Amino acid sequence: MTTTRREFLRNSGALVVYFSLPASAVLSVASALAQDPGLSGNAALDTWISIEAGGTVRISSGKVELGQGIRTALAQIAAEELDIDLSRISMATVDTVRSPDESYTFSSISIMQSGTAIRKAAAEARRILLELAAESLGSPVESLTVQDGRIYRAAKVTQVDYWSLLAGQSFNTAVPQDIKTKPVGEYTIVGKSVKRLDIPGKVYGDAAFLQDLRLDGMVHARVVRPPADRARLVAADIASIEAMDGVLKVICDGSFMAIIAKREFQAVKAAEQLRAKSRWLLPEDLPDEAGLPAWLRSEKAKTYPIVHKEASTTRQAVTSLSASYSKPYIAHAAISPSAAVALKSDDGLTVWTHAQGMYPLRGAIARVVGLAESQVRCIHMEAAGCFGHNGGDDAACDAAAIAMQFPGRPVRLQWSRADEFQWEPYGSAMSIEVKAGLDQKGHIVEWDYDLWSCTHSSRPRGAPGAGNLLYAQHRKNPIEQPPPASIPQPAGGADRNAVPLYVFSRTRVDKHLVQRMPLKVSALRGLGAYGNVFAIESFMDEAALSVNADPFAYRLAHLKDVRAIDVLNKLRELSNWSDRPKTGSGDGWGVGFARFKNLTAWVGIVMKLRVDPETGKVRLDKVIAVVDSGLIVNPDGTRAQLEGGIIQSASWTLKEQVRFTNSAIQSGDWISYPILGFAEVPDIQIEIIDRPDQPPLGLGEAAQGPTAAAIANAVFHATGRRIRDLPLTPERVTMTG
Amino acid sequence: MGVNFTLNGKPVSLDVDPQTPLLEVLRNDLQLNGPKFGCGLAQCGACAVLIDGNSSRSCVIPVSAVNGREVISLEGLGTAKNPHPLQLAFIEEQALQCGYCTNGMIITAAELLAKNPHPDSADIKRALAGHQCRCGAHPRIVKAVERAAGDMP
C-alpha cells in the first residue's frame, strides 16, 4: 500500500519533515529564521493555522489586540493568502498553552513580524491544501484554482473545498522560509479598508474585555499600596478589617497588602478602611519636579556612545548654536485601570491579563510565585488601549500572588484609578543638549548630542525580569530589581531616534543612562523617540532661523533619504506652506518630521494653531500629516493609528506631566492629570504615500515625535517664543521671554 | 433592603446593600458589559447609562437612587438585530480604537440626539466634553454622531 500525501500529513510528525531536509536546506532555513522573528521558534504550521469544522479557519498570532486593530490586519493577510473570505477567519486569543511565542506586542513591529509569519504560513497551508485537492480530484495542481476556499478545476466548481480536505486535522509540517507568497498585484483584501472585526461587539455591549470575564465562584480583590514606592509599613489594624462584612481574607506580606471579599463593593470599602488604618514611614527620596533636567544630569549615569562619526568634509564651522530641551514623566493613563483574574487550582495557576506579552509574563510570574513555567498559563484578554507597559503586568502578578493564597476560587483584581496613576511605570523624563557648528553657508557640519534619561524599558521579561514586578519588590522577601536595561541601536530605548536622519559632516551622539529609578518607568509609545524628535526638530527650526532659511528648505538641504524628501515635499505642498503667516502674528505653522527608529515609517506633520496672547492658551486648528509606511494593509487602520497618535502626542505636548512632591506621586485622577478633550482636538488631514512594492512598516508610534516638534515650532512661529521644556503649558507660553 | 427599577424595559428587583454603586450592580449582579469601570469618580464617562433619559455616571450613583426609575444601558439602546442609529454610525465611521470609552460616548450622544436631533459639531463636542478618550478617536466619534443625527427618524 502506498502512502498518499494526505496520509503522510495526517500520520507523520513534524520531525520527519525536519530530518528529511538536506543539510544545506537546514542551514538556509536557519539563517532565514534568524531574520524572521515571527517564525523563529514557531515553525510548526499548526501553531499558526487550523482548518476548523464549520467552514472557518483559525489563525493564531502571538500578537495581542491593544485597540490598534492588529487582529483585523492579520486576518486580512491570512484571508488574502488563503483565498478565503475575511468572514471565515477567526483570530485566536493569545494563550501560552497553544499560541506562537512572539514575545511582546510592542515597537510597532506586529505587521512586520507576525504578518510576515502568517503570510508564509497561509501560503504553505494553501499549497498543501491544493496538493491534497489535486490528489483527491486526480488532476494536476496547475489545473486548480481557489475561490473562498472552494476548489475549481479548469474554472469549473468542484465538490472539494478546504474543509472537506482537512477540517479538524493537523498539517504536521513546518513552514518553509522560502515559500512563494501571492504577488502584491493580485491582492484583493490586503490594501482595503475593511472594517475592524471587533467593533460591532464593542458597540453592542458584548463581552469583549477582560473586565467582562465572570467566572463561577469568582471573588473580588483590591490592593492597598503604600503611599509611596519605598514607604515601609509601621502598623496596620488587620483584625478590624478581617471582621468587616464579606471580607474573606486580608493579605499582608511586607509592604504588599490586599483584600479579598465576596462582593466588589465590600472589597472597596475594606480597602478604604485598611488604607485609613495603616501607618507608613515615608522616605523623601523623589527628585525636585521643577528641576528634573538638572537632576537627570547630576545623577550617576552610564554613558553609551551611540554615534561617533568623524568629519567627512573639510568644511569648517564658523558659527555655533546650542540648546537644551526636556520632557517630563508622562503617564500611559489607560482609560481602564489595570485588572486581572487569576485561579490557582491543583493543576497550576491560570492568569487572564491585558499585559502585552503572555510568554514573558508567564516566566516572570512563575518565578515570583515559585511554580514551574509549565504550571503557569497566561491568557490575554483586551482592556483599554495601553500604549506601552502600563499597570497590566503588575496587576496580573498581584492577582497571581493573591490567588496563590486563596486557591480554588477565581480571584478578580481591580486597580483603582489612583492605583493606576500612581503605580503604572511612566514614560521616562529626558534632558537633551544639542550643539551644532554651521559653515559659511549656514549648513550644519558638526553635530553634538547628549541625552540624559532613565531606562525606557523595565518590562518583566521572563524569570530574570521578575524583580521588575511591584509585588516582587514589595513583598517580605523581595526579588531585587534588575539594573536598568539599555536597548541597543538601531531601535534604541532612550536613544530611539537620537540619531538624526539628517546628514552632517561630523556627528556625535551619546546616551547617559541614569542608573537610579526613583519614579518607576518603562516603555511608553515611541520610547525616547518622542523626546529626541522634539529636540532634533525644534533645533533644526532654530538653526534654520539663525540663517534665515525656510524650515522645509533647511531640512531638505540636509537630507539624502529619497523617501524622506518625498514626504517633506508632499507635506509642503499639501499644507500650502508658501501661505505661511508672518512670525509673531498669533497664528503659527510648524513642521516636524522623522522616520520612526530610522527603520520604519516616515511621518511629516504640519501643525496650524493659534496662541491667545493674553492667556498663552494654544488652540490647535489643523494638522496635515504625510506618511510613507510602505505597503498598506488597511488604509483606514493606518489613518486611525496616525490620528490617534497625533491627538495623543498633542495631549502629551500641551498638557501632560506626572506631578509629585519629594515623597509621593500627586497625579491620581483626571483632574490632577488632565488630557486633551473634545474641544481641543484639531482637524486632521492624512495623506498616505502608498508604496505597495515596498515592505509594510510599523507606524503606530511614528507620529509622536513629529507632532510634538510641529506644535513647538508652530508656537514659536505664532509668538516668537521658543519653549524647550515640555509640556507647553499656558504658563510657559506666556512667561518664556 | 430591596431595590426596584426598570432596566432596558424590564423590571428588576434586587436585595443588595443600597449604597452599592449602580455600576457594580449592573455589571456584577445583572451581568451587563456595556457600562464600564473607568475611574469610579464620575470623571471619565465610561460608566454612563441613561436614567430617565439623562446620561448619568453609574459609578458614583448608589443603586438606591434609581429606585422606581428607568435605566437604559448600551444593551437596551439597541442590539445587532435592532441597532440604534448611533451604534451603526460608530461601526460605519470606525469610531473607536480600543472601545473602552465607547459606551459612554454612545449613551451621552443618545441623550443629545433625543433632546436635539440635529446638533452641529460644536454641540456634539460640548455634549461629550466630560468623556475621556485616550486613543484619540475624537474626530471619528464626532463624525459618527453627525452621521447618526442624519439617520435619525
pLDDT, position B1: 63
Same domain, residue pair B65 and B112:
no
For residue A411, what is the DSSP state? E
CA distances from A162 to A169, A278, A675 (A): 11, 63, 50
Q: Chain A partners of B34 at a C-beta cutoff of 8 Å?
A: 205
Identify the band that residue A265 occupies on the pLDDT scale cut at 50, 70 and 90: very high
* CATH architecture label of A212-282+332-423: 2-Layer Sandwich (3.30)
> For A94-120, what is the mean pLDDT?
92
pLDDT, position A14: 32
A347 SS3 class: coil
Same domain, residue pair B29 and B12:
yes
Same domain, residue pair B58 and B91:
no
pLDDT digits (tens, 9 = 90+) for A289-332: 999 999 999 999 999 999 999 998 888 999 999 999 999 999 99
Q: What is the mean pLDDT of chain A?
A: 93
Distance CA B41, CA A519 (A): 25
Q: Chain B partners of A264 at a C-beta cutoff of 8 Å?
A: 24, 28
pLDDT digits (tens, 9 = 90+) for B49-104: 999 999 999 999 999 999 999 999 999 999 999 999 999 999 999 999 999 999 99
Distance CA A544, CA A525 (A): 29
Same domain, residue pair B71 and B11:
yes
Of A467, A542, A539, the closest CA to residue A509 belongs to A539
Would you say the CATH fold of A292-329+427-457+493-735 matches that of A5-194? yes
The helix or strand, by DSSP H or E, that contains position A47, with its residue range, turns out to be helix A45-48
Nearest CB neighbour to A202, from listed B17, B38, B96: B96
pLDDT, position A177: 85
A204 SS3 class: helix
Same domain, residue pair B72 and B98:
no
Strand partners, A236: A278
Q: What is the percent of chain A where pLDDT is above 70?
A: 95
Would you mind telling me the total number of residues written for chain A in this entry?
Answer: 737
Rounded to 10°, the helix B138-151/B85-92 angle is 130
Asked if residue A720 has pLDDT above 80, the reply is yes
**How many distinct structural domains can be found in chain B?**
2
Minimum distance, in Å, between the CA of residue B18 and any CA atom of chain A: 11
Q: Chain A partners of B79 at a C-beta cutoff of 8 Å?
A: 204
Asked if residue A24 has pLDDT above 60, the reply is no
Question: End of a domain among B34, B53, B77?
Answer: B77
pLDDT, position A28: 35
**Closest residue of chain B to A420, computed from CA coordinates:** B39
Of A105, A645, A696, A78, the closest CA to residue A361 belongs to A105
pLDDT, position A37: 62
Domain A5-194 has CATH 1.10.3720.10: no
C-alpha cell at A408: 480554588
Contact B99 A636 (CB under 8 A): no
Contact B96 A417 (CB under 8 A): no
Residue pairs between chains A and B whose CB atoms are closer than 8 Å: 163
pLDDT, position A18: 31
pLDDT, position A159: 97
Tell me the residue range of the domain where B93 lies.
85-151
B residues 97-136 lying closer than 8 A (beta carbon) to A:
97-103, 106, 124-126, 128-129, 131-136
Q: Chain A partners of B39 at a C-beta cutoff of 8 Å?
A: 337, 417, 669-670
Strand partners, A309: A507
Asked if residue A348 has pLDDT above 60, the reply is yes
Q: Chain A partners of B131 at a C-beta cutoff of 8 Å?
A: 678
Interface test with B, best of A192, A678, A683 (most B CBs within 10 A): A678
Q: What is the percent of chain A where pLDDT is above 90?
A: 91
Question: End of a domain among B30, B54, B77?
Answer: B77
> For A403-425, what is the mean pLDDT?
98
Residue A567 neighbours by CB under 8 Å, 6+ apart:
A593, A602, A603, A604, A626, A627, A628, A689
Half-sphere exposure of A15 (CA within 13 A, CB side): 1
Q: Is B38 touching A (CB cutoff 8 A)?
A: yes
Same domain, residue pair B63 and B6:
yes
pLDDT, position A735: 72
CATH no. for residue B49?
A: 3.10.20.30
Nearest CB neighbour to A678, from listed B44, B125, B134: B125
- ipTM of predicted assembly, 2 dp: 0.98
Same domain, residue pair B92 and B29:
no
> For A196-225, what is the mean pLDDT?
98
Identify the band that residue A25 occupies on the pLDDT scale cut at 50, 70 and 90: very low
Q: Poorest-confidence range of A16-25, A691-700, B115-124? A: A16-25
Q: What is the DSSP string of A436-503?
A: EEE-TTS-EEEEEEEEEE--S-----TGGGGGGSHHHHHSSSPPPPPPPP-PPTTT-STTTT-S-SS-
Same domain, residue pair B146 and B92:
yes
> For B5-33, what is the mean pLDDT?
98
pLDDT digits (tens, 9 = 90+) for A632-679: 999 999 999 999 999 999 999 999 999 999 999 999 999 999 999 999
| Rounded to 5°, angle at Cα A357 from A353 and A362 | 70
pLDDT, position A1: 40
Same domain, residue pair B36 and B98:
no
Interface test with A, best of B134, B143, B145 (most A CBs within 10 A): B134
Identify the band that residue A112 occupies on the pLDDT scale cut at 50, 70 and 90: confident
CATH number for the domain running over A292-329+427-457+493-735: 3.30.365.10
Same domain, residue pair B51 and B10:
yes
* Radius of gyration over every alpha carbon of chain B, rounded to an integer in angstroms: 15
Asked if residue A114 has pLDDT above 80, the reply is yes
CA distances from A649 to A198, A296, A328, A709 (A): 25, 23, 13, 10
Distance CA A199, CA A177 (A): 34
**Closest residue of chain B to A636, computed from CA coordinates:** B94
Asked if residue A517 has pLDDT above 50, the reply is yes
> For A71-93, what is the mean pLDDT?
97
Residue A87 neighbours by CB under 8 Å, 6+ apart:
none
CA distances from A293 to A249, A486, A725 (A): 45, 20, 9
Phi, psi at A199, each rounded to 5°: -70, -45
Phi, psi at A166, each rounded to 5°: -150, 15
pLDDT, position B69: 98
Q: Is B83 touching A (CB cutoff 8 A)?
A: yes
Residue type, A144: L
Q: Is A146 touching B (CB cutoff 8 A)?
A: no
Residue position matching grid coordinates 478578580 = A412
> For A505-534, what is the mean pLDDT?
97
The helix or strand, by DSSP H or E, that contains position A612, with its residue range, turns out to be none
Q: Is A263 touching B (CB cutoff 8 A)?
A: yes
Distance CA A336, CA B134 (A): 10
Asked if residue A19 has pLDDT above 80, the reply is no
Residue B119 neighbours by CB under 8 Å, 6+ apart:
B112, B113, B127, B145, B146, B149
Same domain, residue pair B107 and B133:
yes
Asked if residue A616 has pLDDT above 60, the reply is yes
Four-CA torsion A430, A433, A438, A444, nearest 10 degrees? -30
Asked if residue A8 has pLDDT above 90, the reply is no
Could you count the other beta carbons within 10 Å of the beta carbon of residue A501? 18
pLDDT, position A284: 93
Q: Would you report the helix, strand and coil content of chain B in percent, each value rounded to 5?
A: 40, 15, 45
Asked if residue A344 has pLDDT above 80, the reply is yes
Residue type, A74: L
Same domain, residue pair B8 and B71:
yes
What is the SS3 string spanning A124-176?
A: HHHHHHHHHHHHHHCCCHHHEEEECCEEEECCEEEEEEHHHHHCCCCCCCECC
What are the boundaries of each domain within chain A? 5-194, 212-282+332-423, 292-329+427-457+493-735
Question: End of a domain among B33, B48, B77?
Answer: B77
Contact by Cβ (8 Å): B126, B142: no
Identify the band that residue A30 occupies on the pLDDT scale cut at 50, 70 and 90: very low
Distance CA A60, CA A75 (A): 10
Q: Poorest-confidence range of A7-21, A550-564, B34-48, B132-146? A: A7-21
Residue type, A179: I
pLDDT, position A9: 43
CATH no. for residue B127?
A: 1.10.150.120
